[in-house]
Structure formats: structure tokens, C-alpha cells
Amino acid sequence: MKERRFNSADHFMIGIDSALRTLFGRPQVTERANPAETINEAEMSQQERDLAARLMRINHTGEVCAQALYQGQALTAKLPQIRDTMERAAQEENDHLAWCETRLNELDNRKSLLNPFWYAGSFMIGAAAGLAGDKWSLGFVAETEHQVEAHLNDHMQRIPAQDQKSLAILEQMKEDEIHHATVALEAGGANLPAPIKAAMKVTSKLMTKSVFYL
């Protein structure tokens, strides 16, 4: 049977479905298991649980932003193989989204109230990157993943030491982000100019500071 190729309208509707699933429903995940599901819950003080939850909420919103970036880029990507690369990466990021939400529930906490705002902004940035050309779009993916890797390293230092469940999730997320960056560069991603990298870091700081509280 011939494989169906989606047109622009199809990809737009798929994007709408993805946005609704990301913000309000259950995202479509891969076959991978949650890396924390076999780890027992540790004893933590309420203060430690609160800190862990706030950090995992930031990571959850980061994955909401990642979904939006990838969907925006996939919508405007020029080459079908680049679009396929973006959509596969987005599906793997959905695993992170689901894992973080599960951990938030276990910690008796909530997702960020600002998720719709950050999704919309990230989608527009992703679409703009895609319109700039596939090499720049892939370069944007690689730089995003490098910055997320640094951000995860910071959280792995701040998470309460006994919270091995959260740590296991962050470790797998870090491994995946490194892989996505490598794939993007090998597919022809360009090195972004320093001012764009700096602007991305400022935006990331705004997100993490606001989501820590909201």
C-alpha cells in the first residue's frame, strides 16, 4: 500500500490536534517506559517535595515549549525529510512531557498556569525559524537542545538527593536532548549567530523564573 503524504492543510490540523493534546489532553507518546516507574518513592520533607515539584513544573513547561517549537518548525519546513525529523523528535519529547506530568501528580502538584502563553510564543518562534530555511531551523533545534542540556544539569544538582524518581527522568531527558542536537547538526544544522543564542537564553530565563511560581 502506498504511504500517504500529508498536504499543508493536513499538517495544520495535525498541529492543532498536537497543541490541544499538549496543553489539555494526553500527548501521543512512543513505546518507551517511564524511567522512574520502577523506583520507590523516597521520604522527603514538604519543603523538599515543593522544590522538586517546582523544578519538575519548569521541566514540564520546557517540554510544552519544545512541542510548540517542533510543531512550528515542522509546519514551515521546506523538505519532507526535515519535517519528518521534526515530527519524530516532537514525539520523543512527548515522552518527557508525560513523564514530567506523572511526576508532578506524584508530588501532589500542578502544571504551570502559563503553559498556553509559552506554547503560543514558542510556536511562533519555531515557525519563524522554519521560514528562515531548513539549515537555520535545524541549527535552532541544536542550540535549543544544548541550552536545555545545561538547564537539566542545573536541575539535577538542585533536586533533593533522595528524589531518585525525578533524577531518573531528568537523566533520560538529558540523554535524549543530546541525541536530538546531534541529529539536527548531522542533518545540516547551522551554527546560530551569538546574538540569537543570547536572546534564546534570556527567553529561557524568563520562562523558568515565571513558571517556578506560576
Task: Provide the mean pLDDT of the chain.
Answer: 82
145 is annotated as contributing to ligand binding: yes
Task: Look up residue 56 and give its three cell numbers.
Answer: 519538575
CATH number of the structural domain 45-213? 1.20.1260.10
93 is annotated as contributing to ligand binding: yes
**Global pTM?**
0.82
Q: Is the pLDDT of residue 164 over 90?
A: yes
Q: Is the pLDDT of residue 174 over 60?
A: yes
143 is annotated as contributing to ligand binding: no
* Percent of the chain predicted with pLDDT > 90: 30
What mean pLDDT is predicted for residues 58-87? 77
Q: Which amino acid is at 176?
A: D
pLDDT for the residue numbered 2: 46
pLDDT for the residue numbered 1: 44
41 is annotated as contributing to ligand binding: no
Give the tens place of pLDDT for each residue, 78-110.
666 666 666 666 677 788 888 999 999 999 999
The CA–CA distances, whole Å, from 58 to 73, 129, 139 equal: 22, 23, 24
Contact (Cβ atoms closer than 8 angstroms) between residue 93 and residue 70 = yes
Task: Look up residue 94 and give its three cell numbers.
Answer: 512527548
Give the tens place of pLDDT for each residue, 192-213.
888 888 888 888 889 899 999 9
43 is annotated as contributing to ligand binding: no
Asked which of 56-60, 86-90, 112-116, 136-140 is least confident by mean pLDDT, the reply is: 86-90
On the 0-12 / 13-18 / 19+ scale of CB atoms within 10 A, 108 is exposed
pLDDT for the residue numbered 91: 73
Q: Is the pLDDT of residue 4 over 80?
A: no
Contact (Cβ atoms closer than 8 angstroms) between residue 72 and residue 129 = yes
Give the CA angle between residues 104, 109, 115 to the nearest 5°: 75
**Crossing angle of the two packed helices 164-186 and 134-158, in degrees rounded to 10:** 160
Could you say which DSSP state residue 159 is in?
S
